[in-house]
Structure 1
Amino acid sequence: MPAETRARALADLVPRLLELEDGAVHHLVGTELVRRPYPELYADVRRIQERLKDAGVAAGTRVGLWGGNSYAWVAHELALLDLGCVTVTLPSAEFAGVPADELAERYGLELLLADEDRCAGAGDAVAPLTTGPPDGRKIRLRPSPEPLGPDVFSVVFSSGTTGAVKAIQISRAATEDCLAEFARHHAFRSDDRILVGLPLATFQQRIMLYCALWYGFDAVIVDPSPLMLMVLKRARPTIMGGPPAFYELLENRFGSRPAYLRTPLRALSRVIRCTLPAGARRRALALVFRQAHAAYGGRMRLMLSGSAPLRASTAEVFAMAGLPLFQLYGLTESGFIAWNSPAANRVGSVGRPVFPGSVRIAPDGEILVRWPRPQSPGYLGEPPEVEAATYRPDGWIATGDLGRFDGDGYLYVIGRKKDVIITRAGYKIAPSPIEQRILADPAAAQAVLLGGGDLGYVGVVVALRAHAPDEAADRIGRRVAGINADLPAASEIHRVLFTRDEFTRENGLMTSTLKIDRGAVARRYAGSLDRGERWSR
């Protein structure tokens, strides 16, 4: 599978499957990791297409996909892409409990393909996601909606730059630009294997899948779950991308070791990194930190972190172990904005812009981005004034993030505009820089600054790591006092609440893409903060 035989366009992906005789998609069936060769995937895609064409599906048909990560999802998405349909990829968590027929009506779907449990009681325009034989169910397409632009091949969903779930149109040409740039900054090899570990409904995860087919290497598909560690060890990927939560596991494990082990390991790593040439350095670190490398499969050469700030302590642990972790930054509305790479990496930054001159900082500190060809021409179904707030008339996209450049052109994301806390005295506080200072203590797993609105003070909820002793709360309390010394009196943190709760998707404190849900944290802990409690047990 030589890299130079890469696809030329998204339309080439399905025919290319036949060329990739040694490649495969790996996926879970129960707890078993199954390998499906790409030519077998090609055959399943063609069978699905025949079934869809019999139902009247053709180029331009708007088809929804609603389900968890699975082989069937991948096969159907490729079948629709190859037919020239417009796919609408519905995130499972955000639309949980919404009837299938209602979603089809809301987004003008002519057909909705969904997991079997979502099809119960639905009409003829809803069919199950399956690669098995036809079940005899008759499919009748709904009336065609108003067509989208000729370059729009998909509609995806994001919390957007304002926090509300929005439907976003995606450009075919800009997606192809992105795939080309990915290889220029992160050189791929034919023996690579990429892990797709967040919902495929998230467009960035589909980009990772497309990269595997475009450049000719394996893909591993898994939902974020406790099975992730098993998949990493069995599939042994070389590339993965995801939120900081994917990587904090290693930091947590290292931090749980006694100090008499951590200290000499840090010292040994410094000696290796300062004295050995690159090749010998990689081998030595992989040997000394073999358990850390084994936890991620033992073959990692490119690990990408995005969607939320990567804490400095996490980056330091990965550098210590010789694991290649790089932070990047992007939004669904704009595509990838900036990224670090092995050739240009600055810890703490999100890297340099993907396209030179494509990023600038507005007078109020907001990051604005403009691609040569925008990834998205706009939202679907939003009022003009909402769309214009993000897709500005001058062609720039307002990200909703605050940022700055350093003197070498590396971009730093300071926080979200919508998360800025405005105190009753009118002071504005960006939570992220303060939270990152608290998270510099290895005992702190999460820190969420709260204030404004009904709260007459600024407070912070700190979730301690499982291995951290209760005494760590005193140390973090002193750290907060030190932070207060640098803040105006009206912006000081007056209340600190500690918890042993783990922030997860399952308990509602994280989103489906493993970001902290600040609103959920506020709802759960504001009462304890109001009462002046120190611990929430």
Structure 2
Amino acid sequence: MATASTDTVAIMAETPLALRFLARCDRFPDSVAYAVYPTGARTPSRVLTWGEWRDASLACAARLLAAGIEPGDRVAILAGNRLLWPVVDVALQLVRAVGVGLYPTSAPAQIVALLQDSGARLLFTDSVAHVAEIRAASDPAVAGIAIVVDAARDGEVVPFTAWCDEGARLLRDRGATTKLEARIASLVPDDVAALIYTSGSTGEPKGACISHRYLAASAASIAEVLRIDGDDRSVSFLPYSHAAERIFGQCTRMLSGMSAALVEDPTDVFRVCEHFQPTVFGGLPRLFERLYEATEIARATGSDPRDAISSRIGPDVRLATSGGAALPQRVAETLDALGLPILGAYGQTEHLCIAMNRVDAIRFDTVGTPMPGTTVRIADDGELLVLRSALTFSGYWNKPDDTRAAFTDDGLWLRTGDQAALEADGALRITGRVKELIALSTGRKIAPLPIEAALTDSPFVAHAVCHGEGRKFPVALLALRRDMVTAWATAQQLSLPWSELTRHAALHALVQEQVDRVNAALARTDRIQSFAITDAEFSVAGGELTPTLKLVRRVIDTRFAPVFDALYAAAARPTGDA
């Protein structure tokens, strides 16, 4: 069993984060909270101070009360990285409503299903296209939802600016102000503040109930580990509908006073960093892989790899954090050697702050030690368990059976579903998913995650998928890092279309070397017997990746079934040897 300090986290959890937010805004009203960078912009279009954020959220909150929103009512937000998100999210916390985040990339049927599941009374969105999709569904379960749009009036919805302007007018009335003050004063830590739907990489999304206590405790735990304060600058570019940006990002900023660049288009993140010059940079592994690729290309062309980093994220980053999926060890080690320490972290929507590396004790082969307020142990079957605490979710929305199954029989320990090992120094090593074990026809069970992580330690492999359920041996499907492969091809004086390049014998030989290195460290029964390279690039839009860039195995297994079948068929064919 391993634990970390709990006193500070427990104390901070007793006060809802929204109240600490108001106090900070009163103390530092003129300090910058957000600098907004529209799509393609190199400079911000506007700056939002803490005082302006407070005033906008209070106006929105007053209008919510006028609309009849009661404590516990669900209100959905379907928007990209725009000011609508932090303004509305804080307003919902203040009036004790439950904010339901929806991914803007979701299909119309998924949006309608989650609106129906949550029972949302009101929807805020930044797109009239989303409005049209919802109306077109003609689903009676969502027909009565009022919609507020951060766009021009279309006759059927309320513009967001008009909504907030009306709220500001209401606050000039003492009665409305008194009503809002009373609602804010009634906030209690165990109220549900948010529904965060899990990404559904292994099944249908479930709404995780997140309390005000969870938000406050998580922000305190993160801020303590990262030693963040109001002088720090960060970048907001991940979806707010996911726990990473909503809690690790926004809630930590609300507590610490750290400012942020609000990047409307995530593909602009490096361009924005060059101007905004953050001191802290949090991202998913793919962002750091792109930095790594840039440094390798710089080396190959005789440039300084450090310049490749600073030209993309600025010169002032003192630390970076990576979560959502495993960061290849080669990537982490290379960037650290070039002056960019990356703290690998591990958590889940159900308990975001499980473990993280520390600045003074970085290990690239583990996810670090438990975070403040978190206690872990390893079950007899190897599953990682997390002691229920202020940092743990309250259960799944309207799913009591799933909630019970998420904990041990005594209700005290959260089942993460991950297999793990606890190192002598207290660091956690994630070794696989309990439900993602591959059962070979021989009875042997293989954990694919460590093998896949080792395969992506190659500079050329972006994603690896092990396959072998019910088969005699495992095989792998590999998707490549296009920039790295293209740079290699240029050096080899190969000028071929991408689909031909991925089939080139010399490239296959390079990848085979990595497969051989991985196999050398595996038991004979676990070795990859054959592999295929796809010219497809896995993506969220394509369905192969979740919004946090984890593999969606059921999609890949189905889509590439002919490829896997061909690998086994080739292995079964006689070789012609006597």
TM-score range, shorter chain: 0.7 to 0.9
1:296 and 1:135 mapped to 2: Cα distance?
Answer: 35
1:54 and 1:374 mapped to 2: Cα distance?
Answer: 33
Q: 1:515 aligns with which of 550, 556, 562?
A: 550
Alignment partner, residue 67 of structure 1 = 79
Alignment partner, residue 17 of structure 2 = 10
1:492 aligns with 2:527: yes
1:133 aligns with 2:162: yes
Per-residue deviation, 1:128: 1.9
Q: In terms of mean alpha carbon deviation, does 169-178 or 30-39 score higher?
A: 30-39
Q: How does 1:330-369 map to 2 (within 5 A)?
A: 330-355=347-372, 358-369=375-386
**Aligned to 1:343, what secondary structure does the other structure show?**
coil
1:119 aligns with 2:126: no
Per-residue deviation, 1:66: 2.0
Q: Which amino acid letter does the alignment assign opposite residue 256 of structure 1?
A: I
Alignment partner, residue 280 of structure 1 = none
Do the aligned partners of 1:119 and 1:126 also contact (CA within 8 Å) in 2?
no
**Aligned to 1:504, what secondary structure does the other structure show?**
coil
Q: Over aligned residue pairs, what C-alpha RMSD do you find?
A: 2.9
**Aligned to 1:498, what secondary structure does the other structure show?**
strand
Per-residue deviation, 1:420: 1.4
Q: Which amino acid letter does the alignment assign opposite residue 555 of structure 2?
A: A
Do the aligned partners of 2:479 and 2:536 also contact (CA within 8 Å) in 1?
yes
Per-residue deviation, 1:477: 1.6
1:31 aligns with 2:28: no
Residues 305-348 of structure 1 show CA distances to partners (whole Å, capped at 9, x for unaligned) of 01111101110121121012110100111221001121222111
Q: How does 1:49-88 map to 2 (within 5 A)?
A: 49-88=61-100
Q: Structure 2 vs 1, CA of residues 61 and 15 (structure 1 numbering), >3 Å: closer, same or farther?
A: farther
Do the aligned partners of 2:366 and 2:428 also contact (CA within 8 Å) in 1?
yes
Q: 2:195 aligns with which of 146, 150, 155?
A: 155
Do the aligned partners of 2:328 and 2:454 also contact (CA within 8 Å) in 1?
no
2:235 and 2:388 mapped to 1: Cα distance?
Answer: 27
Alignment partner, residue 439 of structure 2 = 422
Q: In terms of mean alpha carbon deviation, does 298-307 or 356-365 score higher?
A: 356-365
Alignment partner, residue 117 of structure 2 = 106
Q: Which amino acid letter does the alignment assign opposite residue 55 of structure 1?
A: A
Higher relative contact order (CA 8 A, sep 6+): 2
Normalising by structure 1, report the TM-score: 0.84
Alignment partner, residue 195 of structure 1 = 235
Q: Structure 2 vs 1, CA of residues 355 and 10 (structure 1 numbering), >3 Å: closer, same or farther?
A: closer
1:519 and 1:451 mapped to 2: Cα distance?
Answer: 13
1:256 aligns with 2:276: no
Q: Which amino acid letter does the alignment assign opposite residue 544 of structure 2?
A: L
Q: Which amino acid letter does the alignment assign opposite residue 403 of structure 1?
A: A
Q: How does 1:17-416 map to 2 (within 5 A)?
A: 17-20=25-28, 21-32=30-41, 33-34=44-45, 35-94=47-106, 96-98=108-110, 100=112, 103-115=114-126, 116-120=128-132, 121=135, 123-130=143-150, 131-134=160-163, 150-159=190-199, 163-207=203-247, 208-222=249-263, 225-257=266-298, 259=300, 261=302, 289-355=306-372, 358-384=375-401, 386-394=402-410, 395-416=412-433
1:136 and 1:11 mapped to 2: Cα distance?
Answer: 21
1:114 and 1:96 mapped to 2: Cα distance?
Answer: 13
Do the aligned partners of 2:211 and 2:393 also contact (CA within 8 Å) in 1?
yes
Q: In terms of mean alpha carbon deviation, does 155-164 or 441-450 score higher?
A: 155-164
Q: Structure 2 vs 1, CA of residues 220 and 445 (structure 1 numbering), >3 Å: closer, same or farther?
A: same
Q: Structure 2 vs 1, CA of residues 441 and 15 (structure 1 numbering), >3 Å: closer, same or farther?
A: same
1:305 and 1:224 mapped to 2: Cα distance?
Answer: 20
1:474 and 1:463 mapped to 2: Cα distance?
Answer: 15
Per-residue deviation, 1:162: 5.1
Do the aligned partners of 1:196 and 1:240 also contact (CA within 8 Å) in 2?
no
Residues 111-142 of structure 1 show CA distances to partners (whole Å, capped at 9, x for unaligned) of 222333222337453212434124999xxxxx
1:422 and 1:158 mapped to 2: Cα distance?
Answer: 26
Provide structure 2 residue ranges, at least 5 long, that are not aligned to the other structure.
1-11, 136-141, 151-159, 167-187, 490-503, 571-578
The structure in which a higher percent of residues are helix is 2
**Aligned to 2:361, what secondary structure does the other structure show?**
coil
Do the aligned partners of 1:334 and 1:370 also contact (CA within 8 Å) in 2?
no
Per-residue deviation, 1:194: 1.7
Alignment partner, residue 539 of structure 2 = 504
Q: Structure 2 vs 1, CA of residues 106 and 472 (structure 1 numbering), >3 Å: closer, same or farther?
A: same
Do the aligned partners of 2:385 and 2:414 also contact (CA within 8 Å) in 1?
yes
Residues 169-227 of structure 1 show CA distances to partners (whole Å, capped at 9, x for unaligned) of 11212321222222221111322112222110112311211221211121223356322
Do the aligned partners of 1:87 and 1:155 also contact (CA within 8 Å) in 2?
yes
**Aligned to 2:426, what secondary structure does the other structure show?**
coil
Q: In terms of mean alpha carbon deviation, does 477-486 or 208-217 score higher?
A: 477-486
Q: Structure 2 vs 1, CA of residues 253 and 76 (structure 1 numbering), >3 Å: closer, same or farther?
A: same
Q: Which amino acid letter does the alignment assign opposite residue 158 of structure 1?
A: T
Per-residue deviation, 1:258: 5.6
Per-residue deviation, 1:150: 4.7
1:171 and 1:135 mapped to 2: Cα distance?
Answer: 26
Do the aligned partners of 2:22 and 2:54 also contact (CA within 8 Å) in 1?
yes
Q: Which amino acid letter does the alignment assign opposite residue 19 of structure 1?
A: R
1:433 aligns with 2:470: no
**Aligned to 1:132, what secondary structure does the other structure show?**
helix
Do the aligned partners of 1:423 and 1:490 also contact (CA within 8 Å) in 2?
no
Q: Structure 2 vs 1, CA of residues 260 and 71 (structure 1 numbering), >3 Å: closer, same or farther?
A: closer
Q: In terms of mean alpha carbon deviation, does 458-467 or 310-319 score higher?
A: 458-467
Per-residue deviation, 1:75: 0.9
Q: In terms of mean alpha carbon deviation, does 354-363 or 7-16 score higher?
A: 7-16
Do the aligned partners of 1:443 and 1:472 also contact (CA within 8 Å) in 2?
no
Q: Structure 2 vs 1, CA of residues 485 and 352 (structure 1 numbering), >3 Å: closer, same or farther?
A: closer
Q: 2:477 aligns with which of 451, 458, 461?
A: 461
Q: Which amino acid letter does the alignment assign opposite residue 128 of structure 1?
A: V
Per-residue deviation, 1:368: 0.6
Do the aligned partners of 1:199 and 1:223 also contact (CA within 8 Å) in 2?
no
Q: In terms of mean alpha carbon deviation, does 298-307 or 525-534 score higher?
A: 525-534
Do the aligned partners of 2:388 and 2:414 also contact (CA within 8 Å) in 1?
no
Q: Structure 2 vs 1, CA of residues 401 and 442 (structure 1 numbering), >3 Å: closer, same or farther?
A: same
